[in-house]
Amino acid sequence: MKKRLQAIIDWIEPHDRIIDIGSDHLIIPNHLIDQGITSLVFASDINDGPLQSMKQSRQDRNIIILRSDGLKDVDHELDGAIIAGMGGRLIQRILEESLERFKHMKYIIVQPMQQIEELRQYLQDHFTITAERLVSEDGKIYHVIKLISGQDDYDVILTKGLAPKQELSQYYAHQLQHWRRLLPRVSAERRSQIEQRIARLERANML
């Protein structure tokens, strides 16, 4: 089990009715059923390829496979949702198109692959982050974020500080390396913005 997927599973509450949006190979749904964490899981996708992959990977009839773009064609009552392995903009679109339904869930777990700051800006206006992990895997750092309904206020660059200190330090070091490497190659206007970002990351990394 990949560490970033295990981080998601660790936050699923027993007996909840969960949907894994864009589940693909059903790794999380199969594990939730196999370990007795939940007795019924929904998995959805809009495309034929992933849906066929789900059917081949399903290990239990209590995993219900649905064709749906996000929650648009999902009529079942749900306690929570997982939206993982997608870009931040796609996650934002899925949330926005069914916002009221998501807000009535106990929690949502998201794991964006790109556009993380853009997604955080959106989440700040609609949700409260209750937990966060920064998982290092295969040379990358993955953000795993648990949400509930309600507005929040936090720094979209520095994360909310809910992740363990060791994970935060590793993330800040990774970000500092990235922006320092980029700095000599940008325009003067862009340079000022990046220098400010580096200064904020350096201050955060010293806390």
Do both 147 and 87 map to the same domain? yes
CATH number at residue 30: 3.40.50.150
pLDDT at position 26: 93
Q: Is pLDDT at 146 greater than 80 in this prediction?
A: yes
pLDDT at position 169: 76
Measured CA to CA, the distance from residue 67 to residue 207 in angstroms comes to 46
Output the pTM of the full model: 0.77
10 Å Cβ neighbour count for 148?
A: 16
Measured CA to CA, the distance from residue 174 to residue 57 in angstroms comes to 35
Do both 89 and 190 map to the same domain? no
pLDDT at position 145: 93
pLDDT at position 155: 54
Q: Is pLDDT at 160 greater than 90 in this prediction?
A: no
Mean pLDDT of the chain: 87
Range of the domain at 26: 3-156
Q: Is pLDDT at 158 greater than 70 in this prediction?
A: no
Do both 141 and 58 map to the same domain? yes
Q: Is pLDDT at 81 greater than 90 in this prediction?
A: yes
18-31 per-position pLDDT tens digit: 999 998 789 999 99
Q: Is pLDDT at 161 greater than 60 in this prediction?
A: no
pLDDT at position 159: 57
Looking at the structure of the chain, the number of domains it has is 2
How close are the terminal C-alpha atoms of the chain, in Å? 33
Do both 113 and 71 map to the same domain? yes
For the chain, the residue count is 207
Do both 123 and 95 map to the same domain? yes
Do both 203 and 150 map to the same domain? no
Measured CA to CA, the distance from residue 23 to residue 140 in angstroms comes to 21
Dihedral angle over CA of 46, 129, 201, 139, nearest 10:
-40
Do both 92 and 190 map to the same domain? no
pLDDT at position 125: 86
88-106 per-position pLDDT tens digit: 999 999 999 999 999 999 9
Average pLDDT for 131-137:
88
pLDDT at position 185: 81
**Contact (CB, 8 A) for 194 and 186:** yes
- What percent of the chain is modeled with pLDDT above 70? 91
Do both 148 and 177 map to the same domain? no
Between 64 and 189, the more confident residue is 64
Structure tokens at 153: 């206020």
Do both 189 and 99 map to the same domain? no
User: Residue 4: CB partners within 8 Å, gap ≥ 6?
Assistant: 84, 111, 135, 137, 142, 144
Do both 145 and 185 map to the same domain? no
Lowest mean pLDDT, pick from 49-53, 82-86, 130-134, 152-156: 152-156
Measured CA to CA, the distance from residue 41 to residue 182 in angstroms comes to 43
**Contact (CB, 8 A) for 101 and 126:** no
Do both 174 and 197 map to the same domain? yes
Do both 171 and 116 map to the same domain? no
